[in-house]
Amino acid sequence: MKVGIESLAVHVPHYYLDLKTLAEVRGVDPGKFYQGLGQEKMAVPPPDEDIVSMAANAAYRALEGIDASSVDTVLLATESGIDQSKSAAVYVHHLLGLPANCKAVELKQACSSGAVGLLMALAYVAVHPSRKVLLVTSDIARYRMKSSGEPTQGAGAAALVVSAEPRIVELGQESGSYTEDVMDFWRPNYMDEALVDGKYSIKVYQRALLRAWEAYASLTHRSLDDHHRFCYHLPFTRMAEKAHLHLVHAFAGGKTRGATTDALAKIRSSLHYNRLVGNSYTASVFVALSSLLDLESDLEGRRVGLFSYGSGCVATFFSGVVLPGYRNFVQAERHAALLREREEITFQRYEEFYNYRLPRDGSECATPRHQTGLFRLAGITGHKRIYERVAAEPAEDRQGTPERKGAVASIS
Ligand code: COA
């Protein structure tokens, strides 16, 4: 039986800051961001976009044309949680009008819980082939202003329908994992911004990659050459270049210029979206996969290796084979339009969005209205977040199941 990805959709905020603008204000050579980090733009969410609205927007697109009545599990992976108790998955379940006989939970382990959630979903579907799992990864990467992490911010969500009827990628359940208790990146409950020992995190990322690969390779007996392309967790795109060369040099030998060029060709297409969006933590490895599948049209039957790294740390290497006809199911045109139609913001606007805070005393608040996807955070009342659907369903979207058409417009 095949299990894997039936659909895959990405959502990113409508606004971005060009890193040239940030470089100018911070008095840094733009080459450091563009070439040194491999990042051009970072997505900046407006006050009415949070991980729930982004997740709902991505999930809505992932469920298009899919019988949502078979979805009985919603897994939402994030490290930007909005509540200590209630899972963001329950809000998304409601906004999408998913069946009531469903379980919905949130998963956390820095940037790696999305990949771990995917492996859990595959195992579940293998036992219950008539069921589908909606896996949503959604995050806002936020560091202190003026810190070295600032240019590696970003935001986005990726949603996957995992089922026994995969149309895009058939995934293997064999994976190699590695866990080590390290303090390279963390966010105490009382902080809005992550704390990070950036240089150390790069070292641990690379160490974890080698250990996870070793575990995967010994289980599958596959070599690096058995993989046509690789997708990495992307805190910034140069990270994948460093990591992949580290892996290739450790296990395939050869540090010649030709070997390096060949190795980098195996990750190039996967970097494109992240270069324009920035870090999206749990979502980033799936944004990378989406970028690869959207940009390359001759991947049928090819094996793709995926590496997820979550600081703290948990790392996982796994792989899948791209299915015949996958181009009919990827959302390349929609993703291209989403990125193309974004709006560049000034540094002042970035500061305004960054500094916006929802009330913490339960007082009533309506968030200022900006451009979002179909769902937005409308405000807060009595310590409760209120979400709403912003527009009448566009004609091309009226293909959902009865359950989805019946989705309620707001939560209160
Ligand atoms: N033109 C081109 N490249 C330049 C440059 C210029 N003018 N100036 C600097 N660079 C290069 C540096 O040589 C370096 O490249 P290298 O790593 O290949 O040597 C790169 O730009 C980054 O410069 P560096 O001085 O190391 O940056 P930094 O000290 O400001 O921090 C991070 C970089 C990634 C550590 C920081 O952004 C961070 O902490 N990010 C958040 C955590 C993170 O993403 N961790 C990754 C693992 S999860």
pLDDT value, residue 412: 32
Which of 111, 231, 241, 388 is catalytic? The answer is 111
Exposure string for 65-103, b = 16+ CB within 10 A, e = fewer: ebebebbbbbbbbbbbbbeeeebbbbbbbbbbbbeeebe
Q: Closest residue (by CA) to atom 34 of ligand 1? A: 198
Sign of the torsion formed by the C-alpha atoms of 376, 139, 177 and 219: positive
The residue to which tokens 């590696």 are assigned: 152
pLDDT value, residue 99: 96
Residue 402 binned pLDDT confidence (cut-offs 50, 70, 90): very low
pLDDT value, residue 253: 74
Q: What is the pLDDT of residues 52-87, one digit of tens each?
A: 999 999 999 999 999 999 999 999 999 999 999 999
Exposure string for 220-229, b = 16+ CB within 10 A, e = fewer: bebebeeebb
pLDDT at 399 over 60: no
Distance 241 CA to ligand 1 centre (A): 13
Which of 11, 93, 94, 233 is catalytic? The answer is 233
Q: Closest residue (by CA) to atom 12 of ligand 1? A: 36
Residue 49 bears catalytic tag: no
- The closest alpha carbon to 10, from 317, 404, 276, 396, belongs to 276
Distance 33 CA to ligand 1 centre (A): 8
Distance 63 CA to ligand 1 centre (A): 38
User: Whole-angstrom Cα distance, residue 332 to residue 61?
Assistant: 12
User: Whole-angstrom Cα distance, residue 69 to residue 409?
Assistant: 19
Which of 147, 148, 242 should be mutated for ligand 1, with most atoms under 8 A from CB? 148
Q: Is 235 in the pocket of ligand 1 (CB under 6 A)?
A: yes
Distance 36 CA to ligand 1 centre (A): 6
Q: Is 363 in the pocket of ligand 1 (CB under 6 A)?
A: no
Q: Is 141 in the pocket of ligand 1 (CB under 6 A)?
A: no
Residue 111 bears catalytic tag: yes
For 4-389, CATH gives: 3.40.47.10
Q: What is the pLDDT of residues 194-240, one digit of tens each?
A: 999 999 999 999 999 999 999 999 999 999 999 999 999 999 999 99
pTM for the model stands at 0.95
Ligand 1 atom index nearest CA of 198: 39
Q: Is 198 in the pocket of ligand 1 (CB under 6 A)?
A: yes
Q: What is the pLDDT of residues 104-155, one digit of tens each?
A: 999 999 999 999 999 999 999 999 999 999 999 999 999 999 999 999 999 9
Residue 393 binned pLDDT confidence (cut-offs 50, 70, 90): low
User: Whole-angstrom Cα distance, residue 358 to residue 363?
Assistant: 9
Distance 347 CA to ligand 1 centre (A): 21
Instruction: Give the Cα-Cα-Cα angle 77, 80, 86 (nearest 5 degrees).
Output: 70
Q: What is the pLDDT of residues 313-370, one digit of tens each?
A: 999 999 999 999 999 999 999 999 999 999 999 999 999 999 999 999 989 999 999 9
Q: What is the pLDDT of residues 222-235, one digit of tens each?
A: 999 999 999 999 99
pLDDT value, residue 107: 98
Residue 411 binned pLDDT confidence (cut-offs 50, 70, 90): very low
- The secondary structure of residue 68, as a DSSP letter, is G
pLDDT value, residue 394: 47
pLDDT at 407 over 60: no
Q: Is 239 in the pocket of ligand 1 (CB under 6 A)?
A: yes
What is the gyration radius of the CA atoms in the chain, in angstroms? 20
Q: Is 144 in the pocket of ligand 1 (CB under 6 A)?
A: no
Q: Is 149 in the pocket of ligand 1 (CB under 6 A)?
A: yes
Distance 149 CA to ligand 1 centre (A): 9
Q: What is the pLDDT of residues 22-60, one digit of tens each?
A: 999 999 999 999 999 999 999 999 999 999 999 999 999
More confident residue, 401 or 314: 314
* Phi, psi (deg, nearest 5) at residue 7: -150, 160
Q: Is 37 in the pocket of ligand 1 (CB under 6 A)?
A: yes
Distance 338 CA to ligand 1 centre (A): 28
Residue 404 binned pLDDT confidence (cut-offs 50, 70, 90): very low
Which of 29, 32, 146 should be mutated for ligand 1, with most atoms under 8 A from CB? 32
